[in-house]
Structure 1
């Protein structure tokens, strides 16, 4: 059996690459994956899978014709806040796959926000036509329940991604703090300057070594460079492409300060204290579910002393998840694997 995998793959985003790596890890052995990618050669080389350019319409159509199944492969594909085109791209592919009578699976989805009536209508049609659906949060499950569409709910699959040790990480000074910021309209120059000042104070107080982790170079690297210029001898930018290595970084880190959802999931999964800076409802959902402290960027305090003191307090007295909590999340994340086994049995 051949399955076409569709997601935000091959675009240099560590979180989406982690979802792809986990999906490939969870696919039943008799299913041959074909991956739609923004960088087909890189995706082929990294995962040793058949690939297709996600933006080449004829090639995508041929790939659909050559496959027996189509999978939406995790993440916030169906939302119309960061992009109005995105839900029509993914929704159009799903509708086409369903019209061609392929087995269709919506896997590990975080649905919404859906602000426009037409995207809500398309999403409802798409999900209703799926063979199997799994979601990663309660809000997505509630939306599908309102639409009378059955689904399973389980933690994000990246909880179950196997991490790899990072060469040279343990040679860096300890203790280590990981910081993952991304460009976003809410991360204004003034807020970035305040966070950087607070980070400098925090570093002086804790004598920690700061690891700046760009999860997506095009969005994150410039911000990491701005921060590093203020922390010259006590920080390092770590640019890692392999999602298993990216997760492995957090094995050697005391605390993570993160905007990106999957930076927080990876950190929490590796037993790291987490502090969130939310720019998106999906980050707020994780904060609620795991009781992760943090701020919405839109309401970030202007007082850099308060930011720094809050981080110091969490560093000194905050608790990571207990090993049994982590194991429970990993075990439940494997329900996404069971869904694939059922769909392709």
Structure 2
């Protein structure tokens, strides 16, 4: 079977654990005859980590060269087309997709979380690029509904990271048990006052449960400062754990009883490993996951103003809450593999 070259485009090479997990999931699911060229913020690291050809996502020359060498262009998962954080994201990803289509490449929007799109221009750009795709898959019902309004019928399946293989974490079982992981990230909704509240609640929670707190920066350049600040105030056993390998990041949750998480993929990874999840939502994608899986949690904007109320809720969930059952997890993993079936149909 002849080799197929495909440009893979996403938020890669930025040391974001969730997006790196999406890339690893995609590479795991690609048909063997596909040779990927990954656009990355750190091409050398991406090439070394995954054993793939990679080029600088910010170099117009390198990107154009990759497009000219390729047959396919794939948006590789995540919330690429949304304008909540900035308008630059949809312009970059939509512009590249449009350029690929203009150059005659076949295109796939894969495992996408589309929106929110508040601006008329970004809605128009997203619609036009998706209309030109050979195949589309989305990871949530809100994205599917938006596309249905545009008379598009995407494949809908759970996030591919549900199906990512997990690897053991060296030294994890040497840490005191039981363990609870915390994955916070900076965001305007996580104000200094709310971070202080959560820290006080975490201190009370640890005193009551005698748990070892694992602070896990999913994107160290952003999250480490928060983890360090919390760690300096915790009275009991704790550890800041930074992992580069997405499979190990997922495997971490095999040895954790409960996660308190903002990061979407921390909740997905933890739930997939039968870990209890308590969500702190800063974004519709997290709220959507809470709704679909019936996860307990709060919208950050509606966080209780009393640290005792927060810690009491966590303690009760730690003592009495349940993880997803194995049959539900198996179903989510099996359905996540529908994203692989789509790749096989298009590229196989």
Shift of 1:8: 0.1
The answer for the alignment partner of 2:162 in structure 1 is 159
Shift of 1:233: 4.5
- On the 8 A contact 2:17/2:219 being kept in 1, the answer is yes
Shift of 1:232: 5.4
Q: Secondary structure at the match of 2:128?
A: helix
For residues 82 and 165 of structure 1, what CA distance do their matches in structure 2 show?
A: 34
Equivalent residue in structure 2 for 1:7, among 7, 10, 15: 10
TM-score (normalised: structure 2): 0.99
The answer for the alignment partner of 1:42 in structure 2 is 45
For residues 172 and 116 of structure 1, what CA distance do their matches in structure 2 show?
A: 48
Question: Is residue 2:198 matched to residue 1:195?
Answer: yes
For residues 80 and 165 of structure 1, what CA distance do their matches in structure 2 show?
A: 37
Equivalent residue in structure 2 for 1:65, among 64, 68, 78: 68
Equivalent residue in structure 2 for 1:171, among 167, 171, 174: 174
For residues 233 and 143 of structure 1, what CA distance do their matches in structure 2 show?
A: 46
For residues 83 and 39 of structure 1, what CA distance do their matches in structure 2 show?
A: 21
The answer for the alignment partner of 1:251 in structure 2 is 254
The answer for the alignment partner of 1:265 in structure 2 is 268
The answer for the alignment partner of 1:136 in structure 2 is 139
Report Cα offsets for 1:289-338 as digits up to 9, x if no partner: 00000001111011000000000010011100000100000000000000
Structure 1 unpaired stretches of 5+: none
Question: Is residue 2:58 matched to residue 1:55?
Answer: yes
Matches within 5 A, 1:1-345: 1-231=4-234, 233-345=236-348
Shift of 1:96: 0.6
For residues 36 and 92 of structure 1, what CA distance do their matches in structure 2 show?
A: 14
Report Cα offsets for 1:178-226 as digits up to 9, x if no partner: 0000000000011000000000000010000000000001110000000
Report Cα offsets for 1:137-173 as digits up to 9, x if no partner: 0000011111011210000000000000000000000
Structure 2 unpaired stretches of 5+: none
- On the 8 A contact 2:75/2:110 being kept in 1, the answer is yes
For residues 117 and 13 of structure 2, what CA distance do their matches in structure 1 show?
A: 25
For residues 259 and 76 of structure 2, what CA distance do their matches in structure 1 show?
A: 26
- On the 8 A contact 2:203/2:235 being kept in 1, the answer is no
Q: Secondary structure at the match of 1:123?
A: helix
For residues 185 and 230 of structure 2, what CA distance do their matches in structure 1 show?
A: 12
Q: Secondary structure at the match of 1:86?
A: helix
For residues 269 and 118 of structure 1, what CA distance do their matches in structure 2 show?
A: 37
TM-score (normalised: structure 1): 0.99
For residues 338 and 126 of structure 1, what CA distance do their matches in structure 2 show?
A: 22
- On the 8 A contact 2:207/2:236 being kept in 1, the answer is no
Q: What RMSD in Å do the two structures reach over aligned CA positions?
A: 0.6
For residues 91 and 112 of structure 1, what CA distance do their matches in structure 2 show?
A: 13
Q: Secondary structure at the match of 1:106?
A: strand
For residues 241 and 82 of structure 1, what CA distance do their matches in structure 2 show?
A: 25
